[in-house]
Amino acid sequence: MQGIPILRMGEFLLVTIQVDMHDQLAMRLQDDLTNAIAKKNAKGVLIDISALDMVDSFIGRMISDISGMARILDAKTVLVGMQPAVAITLVELGLSLPGVATALNVERGMQLLRKSLDESDVDPTKR
């Protein structure tokens, strides 16, 4: 089974979720991602969901889990590209994804990651 490709963008990793996720694929992604963070010493992960027209609690949990795992590996996660209809539905569903940083798109996401890296260089407690 082919996993979701993980791209390297400098010190960060970019994952673009385009297909309908299911259990196996999600497990595979978490595996691949945590391995990649460790191996490439990545400082940040961008999860691009601009192609998703729906996010349910399963995918929401997956995103939260990835964020948690990344944090333990000392990398920050930014979720980018959520569609308006999806945001409205998630809020109604009761999911607010606390602890997951967000940005409008990949570019903004990278800016956010770079900024937080700069800040934590100055003050390590600010991660």
Partner 1 sequence: MSTRQSGELPLKSEHDIVLARQAVRRLAQECGFSLVDQTKLVTAASELARNAYIYGGGGTLQWEVLLEGVKQGVRLTFLDSGPGIANLELALTDGWTSGQGLGLGLSGARRLVNEFDIESTVGMGTRVTVTRWK
Partner 2 sequence: MANKTSISQALGKRRSDIHSQWTKQLGSTLGESSKGRLSAAEVSQQAEQFLDRFNPAVQSQKLDDINGSEWTEVRAFLDDLSRRRVAAGFSSDETATFIFSLKRALFDILKEESAGDAAQLADNIWQATLLLDKLGLYTIKSYQKTREEVINRQQQELLELSTPVVKLWDGILALPMIGTLDSARTQVVMESLLQKIVETESQIAIIDITGVPTVDTLVAQHLLKTVTALRLMGADCIISGVRPQIAQTIVHLGVDLQGVTTKANLADALALALKRSGITFSRSN
Binding site for partner 1 (CB under 8 A): 20, 22-24, 53-58, 60-61, 84-86, 88-89, 92-95
Site for partner 2, residues 83 to 112, rule: CB under 8 A: 84, 87-88, 90-92, 96-97, 102-105, 108-109, 112
In Å, what is the CA distance from 10 to each residue of 36, 42, 84, 94?
A: 13, 8, 29, 35
What burial class does residue 73 get, using C-beta atoms within 10 Å of its C-beta: 0-12 exposed, 13-18 middle, 19+ buried?
middle
* DSSP, res 90: H
In angstroms, give the least distance from the CB of 100 to partner 2.
9
Tokens of 25: 């694929």
Question: Per CB under 8 A, does 116 bind partner 2?
Answer: no
25 touches partner 2 by CB under 8 A: no
Q: Cβ 111 to partner 2, closest distance in Å? A: 10
Of 27 and 38, the one with the shorter C-beta distance to partner 1 is 27
Residue whose C-alpha is closest to residue 47's, from 19, 66, 74: 66
CB 55 within 8 A of CB 84: no
Nearer to partner 1 by C-beta: 75 or 82? 82
Contact set with partner 2 (CB under 8 A): 79-80, 82, 84, 87-88, 90-92, 96-97, 102-105, 108-109, 112
